[in-house]
Amino acid sequence: MPAPFVAYLRVYEPLSTFAPTVRDQLVEALRRGPIAPDHAGVREQRRWLHSQLVAPSRLLPGEAADGTPAGAEDVLVVDPDDVPTGESATVGPGPLVCPLDLRGRSAAALVGFLASAEVPLRGAVFPDPDGDAKSHANRVVQELSDTAVHVLSSTWTVPLPWFALVDPTERIEGTDSGAVSWLVAMADARRRAARAHTVSEGALGDQGPTRILRETGRWLERFHPHSAVELDYGGLVQLMSAEDVQADTSAEDVHAIIDAMERGESTEVAERYEALRDFWAEFAARERYN
């Protein structure tokens, strides 16, 4: 079974900054062994399948039969020394950890599905889409009101505004796995997001990319300032040939678009955006075949 065709934006926070009860669970997860980022999608997929196949089944992965959290989270870990930093950025102390937050993320996805899916589809998945499942998912989402999930995900494509957070020159390519990712210091990611939002708002108004940049910036502000941020192509690399990876200049193009918008050069903005749209449309179109 292939890994899910999902890309990720993750935050790794210093372990020492978590509340004691959460920190104890994360320490236990680290003792069991952290998940490698390029295995995270498969791990999430298996956890979800297990939640549906056990008896009695669980509505959400990461919870017990009675709907309460099931215990220690799966966790990813990063060494602060592996995170490039700008002059004013600090990362650490280590270890930096990213809980997968599967229960909360799954609840948010379920709430979104029940709010947006067509009635026949909702009815096929849940005989009573406005009943216990919806109430339970809403309760779990409300539990997250004082925190934030550490992982955002996107199926079949990478939201172009995410590239504004990274340094195009610091892309990491896995020799064996084919993985493509970036690691950046939180302070650098916030600074880039704020600049991109200001430029985009001035050029495009409060729409599309501007809205995503605003929401992403607000999400980043909810974490410790000495955290790290990772943009990971995840399972999307399965759709990409070696030539595709080599030809991919998405981060460079997004940063060039921001610079061009700031200078008012609309022709360059349009040309680079068209190239980006064509590159990612090839992969996004495969959703229709599935």
Q: Is pTM beyond 0.85 here?
A: yes
Angle at 40 between CA 84 and CA 31, to 5 degrees: 85
Q: pLDDT truncated to tens, each residue of the chain (290 aa)?
A: 678 889 999 999 999 999 898 898 899 889 988 988 888 888 888 888 888 778 777 778 878 777 777 766 789 999 999 999 887 889 989 799 999 888 888 888 888 877 777 777 777 777 665 667 778 778 877 776 667 889 999 988 999 999 999 999 999 998 777 899 999 999 999 999 999 999 999 988 988 899 999 999 999 999 999 999 999 999 999 989 889 999 999 999 999 999 999 999 999 999 999 999 989 988 877 765 55
Take residue 102 and report the two structure tokens written for it: 């599967």
At residue 80, φ and ψ (nearest 5 deg) are -55, -30
Take residue 282 and report the two structure tokens written for it: 């090839």
- Residue 211, CA distances (Å) to 37, 162, 218, 224 in order: 28, 12, 11, 23
**SS (HEC) of the chain:** CCCCCEEEEEEEEEHHHCCHHHHHHHHHHHHHCCCCHHHHHHHHHHHHHHHHHCCCCCCCCCECCCCCECCCCCEEEECHHHCCCCCCCCCCCCCEEEECCHHHHHHHHHHHHHHHCCHHHHHHHCCCCCCHHHHHHHHHHHHHHHCCCCEEEEECCCCHHHHHHCCHHHCEECCCCCCEEEEEEHHHHHHHHHHHHHHHHHHHCCCHHHHHHHHHHHHHCCCCCCCEEEEECHHHHHHCCHHHHHHCCHHHHHHHHHHHHHHCCHHHHHHHHHHHHHHHHHHHHHHHHC
Question: Directed axis angle between helix 102-116 and helix 40-53, to 10°?
Answer: 70
Residue 47 has a CB neighbour count (10 Å cut-off) of 19
